[in-house]
Each structure stands twice: as C-alpha cells, then as structure tokens.
Structure 1
Amino acid sequence: MTKSLIIFDLDGTLIDSVPDLADGVDKMLAHFDKSPAGTDNARTWVGNGSVKLVERALVWAELSLDNLHHAHEIFLKEYATCQGKTVEYNGVTDGLNCLITQGFTLALCTNKPAQFLPDILNNMGWTDKFACVIGGDSLPTKKPDPAPLLHICDTLGMDKSQAVMVGDSKNDILAGQNAGITTLALTYGYNYGEPIADSRPDEVFDNFGDLVTSLL
C-alpha cells in the first residue's frame, strides 16, 4: 500500500478508554440520583463525541434531555478526574514507532473533546507521535463528516490519495469514505454492537500489529 499519511482514531482504536468514560458517566448520573450505567452500557455509547455519550446515558436513565447541557458540563468535569484506567491496545506504541521509523506521517482525528487530548497523549507517551491532532470540537464538524480528515490533509500539505483513515467505528469509516480516503478498520473497538465489516472498509484487521504490517 503506497501511502504516506496515516490518520488514526483514538478511542477504541489506539486506547481502551471505556472504563474511565464509564466512571465519568456514572459520576454524572449520581448527580441526578440515578444508578450507575457501568462499562458494558458505556461501551455501546462511545463514538459520536461527549454530548452524544451523555445524551445516550440520560435516555438510558430515563432523564429528560432538557438536562443535557447541564449534564454534559457535569460529565466533562467528572471525566477530567477519571484518567487512571485508560490503556493502549496491545502493540500500539510499537506499531506507531514502527510506522514513524518507516517514514510515515501520523495524525490523530477523534470525536473526543480536544481538552482531554494533551493529558491522554502524555500519559501514553505519544506527545511527539502525531503531526496533527484534531478533537471533536476542534472544527465546526466532526466524523462522520469528512471535513476533519480533509483539514488534516490540507494542514500537512498532503493529497487525500496519500492518506489512510484507521478506525474502529462506522463514524471513522464513513468519514474516510466521504473524504475519498482509503479506510482500514479494527474489529476490537466500539461500534455500537455492529460488525465493523458492515460499513465496508477497504480492509479489516483483528489486531493492531497486522494492520501495521499491511501498511509497510
């Protein structure tokens, strides 16, 4: 595969952040005297950004969406204190280092709010890995809109034909397809309980190492 720019999703692709996200959601729900939703539910709610995550939690808890703005503010505050359980998926750091050594430019495009990215990247030891980092609120639109991916290409001076989008959810694949960018999918992440192959990415991989090998 002759490519030079690899754009990665974050949650469900490079890191498993659901335990921390679930803790943030459960602390938010506790403000409304509701029972914790737990990690299994949170795992099916991740992928469309923090507002949608909170909205899904409120629906689950049978709370009015009139509470959404307030609940989202509570979640952001609580999630900022929940960073101890997020871990990288097997082989990710080695894979990123291998790609960089081979001359690839790496970028990050996530729907997670940008305010949380510096600490996560620092905790993972990835601060210097990505030439461009885009959060869910960095631009007017987020995935599955193609604009964030095209913005990355423009910012780095690369044509979209040189780029690959790597993700675990249909939002990632749709964003890549909408942008006219090659899409590679991983099966181990968060995709609302749906097989990622249903979104018809160009290739599907069960582990990060095999994906990296395919790019070399």
Structure 2
Amino acid sequence: MDKQLLIFDFDGTLIDSVPDLADATNAMLTTLGKNSYPIDTIRNWVGNGSRMLVERALVGKIEVLDGELTKEDVDHAEQVFFDAYSNMGGSKTIAYPDVDGGLKKLQAAGFKLALVTNKPIRFVPKILQFFGWQDLFSEVLGGDSLSVKKPDPAPLLHVCEALDVTPAQAIMIGDSRNDILAGQNANMDTLGLSYGYNYGQDIRELNPTETFDDFAALVAYILKD
C-alpha cells in the first residue's frame, strides 16, 4: 500500500463520546426548560459538530428547517451546552476496542497519523491527553479550526499540505457520511467503520474504498500491504 498518511475522525471512530455528549445535551435542555431525550436518540444527532447537535436537540429531530430557530437562541443554547460539556470531564468517554494498540502499531509501522474531527478544537487536547494520544498525531484539526468542516475536503487537504503528502498518498478513516464524503471530495481513498454514528445509515451505502466492523480488522488491512 503506497500510503504515507492516515487521517482519522475522532468521535465514533476512535472514541465513543456519546454518553458524555448526551449528558451535556440533556443538561442544556434542562437548563433551557425543555424535555430531555434518551441516549439512543441523541446518538443519531452526533457527527456534524456541536452547533448542529444543539440545533437538533432544540427541535427534537435530525432535520432542522430554515426559520425554526433564531441565531440568538442557538448561540445561547450552544454556550450552555459548552459549559455543560466542559463540566462532564469526559468521565464516560471510552476508546473503542483495539484503538489504542492499533494506532501505536500504525505509527510504529511508519505511517503519519492525523486527526480531523468536527468536534470544537477546544475539547480535543484534553481527551487526547486522557488517552495518552497527544504525541501520536502530527496534525490535529477541530470543526472550528478552519472556516469549513467535513464533508468539505478543505480540512483533509490542509493536513496533506501541512505534512507534505499528496491526497493520493493519504487515507481518510471514519464512521460517518461526513468522513467518507470529505475523503471522496479530496480524491483520497476512504476506509469506513460500521460501528460509529452515521444517523442510522449503513456506512457501506456511501461506497468507501473498504469497510470494517472493528478497528483491529482495519489495522490488519492497512498493515498487510
């Protein structure tokens, strides 16, 4: 495999952060005097960044129509959410099986690793530190690091340029349509993981280069070549 750079999504790919995100979402809704939701409902709202999660929670559904919410209402709710999420401490966030060892194997094999998430960048370093991954990734971008986020290809292309790697030498690895579309839009191979958050859609429907049901199988695939 003539690849040098592996670009990973974060939530739903390397970590399961939904329990903490759900707690923060429901804390926000409670503060705003609204009804809370079960974790399985909130799981389907995760993946497009914090603002979209907040908007979906405010209207109680995945599709938010134009005019349903004012910018002021969303700005206020998002700040309440940020405060709540900061107070969660990440205590319920876990790494998926084989991710820790798998990332270290890939780095040891000579691959450059990068992280491109739609999570606000302010929350990323603390989580990386918690898992001891702060030195694994050569580049880390959050959803607000640039003016656009996945599925726009710009964050992926930014990482390639920063690390002096062509898109053809890179792979985008993720669990949702945003990851696969971003990789396809950047003209790079994409590897899908079926266990994350993809709004109830099978990741295979987006035609990634390959799809895996667990991280260990993905690592084995990358290393076999």
TM range (shorter): over 0.9
Aligned-residue offset at 1:2: 2.0
The number of aligned residues is: 215
Q: Which amino acid aligns with 1:131?
A: S
Displacement of 1:6 in angstroms is 0.1
Structure 2 matches for 1:168-179, cutoff 5 A?
A: 168-179=175-186
Shift of 1:208: 0.2
Once the 2 structures are TM-superposed, how far is the Cα of residue 158 of structure 1 from its aligned partner?
0.7
Matched, 1:77 2:83: yes
Q: Would you say the 8 A contact 1:99–1:212 is kept in 2?
A: yes
RMSD: 1.2
Separation (CA, whole Å) in 2 of partners of 1:101 and 1:202: 24
After TM superposition, list the pairs within 5 Å mapping 1:108-187 onto structure 2: 108-187=115-194
Residues 7 and 107 in structure 1, CA contact (< 8 A), matched pair in contact too? yes
**Partner residue in 1 for 2:74:** 68
Whole-Å Cα distance in 1 between the matches of residues 85 and 38 of structure 2?
14
User: Deviation above 4 Å: which 4+ runs of structure 1?
Assistant: none
Q: Which residue of 1 aligns with 2:55?
A: 55
Which is worse superposed, 76-85 or 90-99?
76-85
1:2 aligns with 2:2: yes
Task: Quote the offset at 1:141 in angstroms.
Answer: 0.4
Aligned-partner residue type, residue 79 of structure 2:
E
Unaligned runs of 5+ in 1: none
Deviation at 1:31, TM superposition (A): 1.1
Kindly state the Cα deviation for residue 22 of structure 1 after the two structures are TM-superposed.
Answer: 0.2
TM-score by length of 2: 0.94
> More displaced, 75-84 or 105-114?
75-84
| 2:98 is the counterpart of 1:91 | yes
* Displacement of 1:47: 0.7
Where 1:65 maps in the other structure, the secondary structure is coil
